[in-house]
Structures are given as C-alpha cells and as structure tokens.
Amino acid sequence: MADPTNTVTSQFLGEITVTDTPMLPGTDPSAGSQISSVEELNTLFTAWVNMVYHHQQHSSTGQTPLARWEASWEHRTPVRQPLETIRQAFLWSDTRRVSKTGTVSLHSNSYEVDPLLAGTTVELVYDPFDLDSEITVNNHQGNPAGTAKPVNIGRHVHAKVTNAVKDNDTAATINTGINYLDLVATRHRASLTGAPISFADLHDHTTTNHPQPATSTEQS
C-alpha cells in the first residue's frame, strides 16, 4: 500500500466526476461517482475509508491501518475528559473594545463588564447557542477578567448557528450513480444498519413450536 495521499488520489479521487446535477442511481455508470456537492463527496469518502482503506495492508508496516490503530491501544486506556472540559473546547471567542461606560457589544447584544476594563480590548468567550447567559471575559493579556453580564439582548443565538441549522434541514438527498464508490457506500450503510425484525416470521415461528390445543371435537 502506497503513501496515504497517493492512495486517496489514485483510488478515490480517480473515481470522482464533478457535475452540477445530483445523479440518480443507474445513470451513466462508466462516468464514475458523479457528485454535485461537498456533502456527497464526504459521504462517499467516509464509506471508502471505512470499507476499503482501513482494510488494505500497508507495504511498510505489514498491517492494515485499522489493525495498526487497534494495536496502538493495547495496554492503554483513553483519558476521558469531563463534560465541562469538552464543552469549553467548543466555545467561540471574539475581541471587543470596552466602552467608557463599561459595556461591550456582541452580535446585536450589549453586556456589562468590570468598569476597570473601560477603554481596553477584551476577549469574550461564549456559547453561540446561548447568548443570554454570562460570558467569560479575558483581558488584553489573556488573563481572566470576570464575566460580561447581559444588559440588552436582541439576539439569543448566533446567526451562523441559525444558518447552519437551516442548511442541515434543507440539505439535498445524496444520490450517486451505480459504480465502484456507490457500491462501497451501499456496503457502508448496510454495515451501520441492523437487519429489520420481521414480526410475521416471529409469529409463524411461535405457532410452529407451540401448536394450539385440540378442540373439544378433536379430543372426542
């Protein structure tokens, strides 16, 4: 197996054809996996990595990437971080100039900070999903400087968060042609989805193994 970058280029990107129109299954299979969005590309790439790349033996290590990854965890235990630490990692930050009255403006909202910070530049660390709560403040040297308390709230959620949610709700259904990468993607979906339960089969099985008692006519 070659260098990962070369492998992606030769085995994955070589199968991709860019188009302006989402392709329907069965359309021009000789043209490769035709995609019209980043979402389609990401779906096919995830499937290819999980179903193909992770299972190909590397010439220099003699192991598949998946086997090498699993072996690296032998005798090791992952360090689980507290939920608060994880939450902190996903907070956003912006710098603002504090007014003479000790307030800052952030996304159509105003907040009150320590009056001693008036006229300085501060960093505001906040949750984009919750602009109503207090915001952590760091001074221009990066040191903690208290919190910014809401004064006038005109926007409760960051605009980019709202737009991202709308984009997810209106995302187009991914359709690709029937070809190598489409088959890989189909196998990947199947590996993530359990077989449905047939309640009709369960009923027939129960009836077969537990026959109904004979009627009074049959007993006589």
Residue 58: both structure tokens together: 């590397």
pTM above 0.75, yes or no: no
pLDDT in tens, 154-178: 999 888 876 655 555 544 444 434 4
Identify which has the larger pLDDT, 150 or 37: 150
- The CA distance from 66 to 104, in Å, is 50
Residue closest to 181 by CA, chosen among 11, 1, 7: 11
Residues 6+ apart with CB under 8 A from 50: 188, 191
pLDDT at 132 over 60: yes
pLDDT at 137 over 70: yes
Task: Please classify residue 2 by burial: count the beta carbons closer than 10 Å to its beta carbon, then call 0-12 exposed, 13-18 middle and 19+ buried.
Answer: middle
- The CA distance from 106 to 122, in Å, is 12
- The CA distance from 45 to 51, in Å, is 10
Query: Domain spanning 83-159: which CATH class is it, in words?
Result: mainly beta
Are 138 and 125 contacting, i.e. CB atoms less than 8 angstroms apart?
yes
H helical segments located in 18-82: 38-51, 65-72
- The CA distance from 101 to 93, in Å, is 22
Domain boundaries, the chain: 4-74+173-192, 83-159
